[in-house]
Amino acid sequence: MDKIETMRAFVAVAQDQSFTAAGKRLGLSTKLVSKYVQHLESQLKTQLFNRTTRSVSLTDVGTAYLERCRPILDQMDELDDLVREKQGALAGPIRLTAPTGFGSTKLTEALIPFLQAHPNVELDMKLTDSRVSVVEEGLDLAVRIGALRDSALIARKLADMPLVLSASPDYLNRNGRPRSPEALATHTCLVNSNQMEPNIWRFYRSGKEHVVRMQGAVTSNSPAALAQMAIGGLGIAMSPFYPVETALREGQLERVLPDYATDTYGVYALYPPNRHLTRRLRALIDHLAAEFSARWTG
């Protein structure tokens, strides 16, 4: 039984904490993944996982072995990448993560032409609104929106995305159109809890900063949900441009305080500093930067 394949099975189980999920990741049956791990444990004469009917977790030895497995597998992947790159065409896996709303819409739209142009690239996209560890999950790339938290990852800014204040015409007709940031105090505001300071909205005009502290009637970590609530006439939302772009164009939403500038969100690609940046990954990052920087001008 191939040692590298058993190591890949072990790493997949460790990442997913499940033999079934690891099998789906690798395209193997659960039974075969279990067989690979058992063979590896037999070779090493030690137990790598604690198994119960409900959970799988690493033993102390398994944790130590995982730390040493990953660099070896990364080097094997680099060798495969080198051969593929010499052949010219982009090929091989790319494992990335992104927020659910953005990933299922604007990111997917940008990925389609890249994948059409490079059919031998294998994309594994993990969409989640929870912060996942790129290194621990064995991912190549994370796409993030907004202020970056402290991280050991390398970050490349792909584009700036404006924050947009918007509401439905129905809401504004019923409640009036605010003429200044301070007038927002009399309105129902929909607050995005993903922001570093969710209850503080900043506006800029003629070199002056206006800081408004909000008490939102609705708070959500989903910009798409807040956009739908704004379309439904529940209040005024401050959101990234992408979830309101279509509604603004079609008249379901209109901009509020259009004469005031707001902050912008950065759209970033993040990747581990010690991981080989393959040609296909560099090409994808360059592609996303070109797509996004041309799209969002506010």
Topology annotation, domain 3-76: Arc Repressor Mutant, subunit A (1.10.10)
At CA 201, angle to CA 195 and CA 203, rounded to 5?
130
Give dist(CA 7, CA 166) in Å, integer. Answer: 51
Residue 55 burial (C-beta neighbours within 10 Å; 0-12, 13-18, 19+): exposed
Residue in the block written with tokens 């970056």? 148
* pLDDT for 47: 93
Give dist(CA 293, CA 38) in Å, integer. Answer: 49
Domain regions of the chain by residue span: 3-76, 89-298
At CA 30, angle to CA 36 and CA 78, rounded to 5?
55
Residue in the block written with tokens 């799988």? 56
Cβ atoms within 10 A of the Cβ of 288, count?
Answer: 22
Q: Is 235 helix (H, G, I), strand (E, B) or coil?
A: coil
Give dist(CA 288, CA 267) in Å, integer. Answer: 10
pLDDT, tens digit, 9 for 90 and up, residues 14-28: 988 899 988 887 888
- Residues of the chain with pLDDT below 70 are 1, 81-82, 84-88, 149-150, 216, 274-276, 296-298
* pLDDT for 261: 92
Give dist(CA 68, CA 29) in Å, integer. Answer: 25
Alpha helical stretches, state H, the chain: 3-16, 19-26, 30-44, 60-86, 100-102, 108-117, 169-175, 223-231, 241-250, 279-295
Architecture of the structural domain at 89-298:
3-Layer(aba) Sandwich (3.40)
Give dist(CA 152, CA 135) in Å, integer. Answer: 10
* pLDDT for 298: 43
